A and B are shown apart, each in its own frame.
Chain A
Amino acid sequence: MKEREQEQVREQVREEIREEVPSREQILVMRNIMDNQLETSDDIEIGRVADIEAELRPDGRLVLTRLMTGPEALAGRISSRLRPIVHFLLRNRFEHGIPIDEIDGFHPTLRLRGRAIDYSTGESERWLANHIFRWLPGSGWKEWHEQLEQSGTGTAETETATEAETRTEETRAPGHAVRGSAVASHQSKHHSH
């Protein structure tokens, strides 16, 4: 009788363990990380996770190290044979990696610790916004630029005076983080859609 009770308790514990998969301390790579939107601390969406790089440590642990974005990583998801072909054509020009420890939290969007300007991801989007979309009527690029000029600062607080002088028009364009400016965030979202 006692054995039966013990067995029931054991079965109950096993059931609880099973129900806990994945526990709150675990997440799923494909469900919770892959393809999720990357959002910086200044609310700018800079891309989606195309792939993840993992490192096999000498002790046998497999640790996720970098989130990859770009067309080559995406091509690799269609077929691993496509990756070298796309690499031959693009030569890593649009590939970007973000260290995984930059993730602030695994929410529906992956919140990053840094600002958009801190990451090279989204450069191609910014280039399009500054060189092509800016010429489209109603793009809002000019207004945004004028507002930025009027505000006089338009730069990150950490930027030095020398850097501000050498800063090109491109680096001040939509998509770049401007602390305290809601316009920058709005513009970036506008272009990302």
Chain B
Amino acid sequence: MQSEAAQSPRTSRNIIRIEDLIGSKIVTADGRKLGHVVDIHVTREREPEVIALVYGRLAWLYRLGVLYPFSQLLHLKFHPYTVPWRAVEKFEHLTVTLKPDFEEKEWEEENE
């Protein structure tokens, strides 16, 4: 059983600027690059919590709010790729590294 500290993503500081996170590279534990963070899902609460990172080409359309209208117009189903924040192992040097055990199953489940 891992401790809480071991489970939490590692960063050099506890304070993160969102603008640093946006545009950061997302890499898997084995070094495979998935893309760059385009937007971030947060909860609509008094203390908004980061839920997932949105990445990939479709994420740009999603960020602009035109992905789903386009999908409906073309009668196709497009979804942006997302990575849940709990899958993040660490965020250092503008790179988000994912946990080795989490990446495949969770990512496929949410983005298949």
A59, B4: Cβ atoms under 8 Å?
Answer: yes
**A28 / chain B contacts, CB cutoff of 8 Å:** 39-42, 54, 63
- Inter-chain residue pair count (beta carbon < 8 A): 116
A25, B44: Cβ atoms under 8 Å?
Answer: yes
With an 8 Å Cβ cutoff, the count of chain B residues facing the other chain is 39
**Given contact pairs A64-B48, A80-B94, A100-B48, A29 touches B8 in the complex (Cβ within 8 A):** no
User: Which DSSP category, helix, strand, loop or mixed, fits chain B's interface?
Assistant: mixed
A152 CB-CB contact with B under 8 Å: no
**A63 / chain B contacts, CB cutoff of 8 Å:** 47-50
**Given contact pairs A51-B19, A52-B18, A100-B47, A58 touches B65 in the complex (Cβ within 8 A):** no
Bound complex: CA of A63 vs CA of B42, how far in Å?
9
B39, A56: Cβ atoms under 8 Å?
Answer: no
A55 CB-CB contact with B under 8 Å: yes
Interface code A1-31, partner B: CB below 8 Å = 1, 0 otherwise? 0000000000000000010011011111111
**A100 / chain B contacts, CB cutoff of 8 Å:** 46-48
- CB proximity of B106 to chain A, nearest CB, Å: 14
Chain B positions near chain A (C-beta within 8 angstroms): 4-5, 7-9, 11, 14-22, 38-44, 46-51, 54, 63-65, 77, 79-80, 82, 85-86, 94
**B21 / chain A contacts, CB cutoff of 8 Å:** 54
**A59 / chain B contacts, CB cutoff of 8 Å:** 4, 7-8
Name A30-72 residues within 8 Å CB distance of B.
30-31, 33-34, 51-65, 68
B82, A54: Cβ atoms under 8 Å?
Answer: no
User: Which DSSP category, helix, strand, loop or mixed, fits chain A's interface?
Assistant: mixed
Extra 12 A-B pairs, beta carbons < 8 Å, given A30-B38, A53-B18: A26-B42, A26-B44, A29-B40, A53-B17, A56-B8, A56-B9, A61-B50, A63-B48, A64-B49, A80-B19, A80-B94, A101-B47
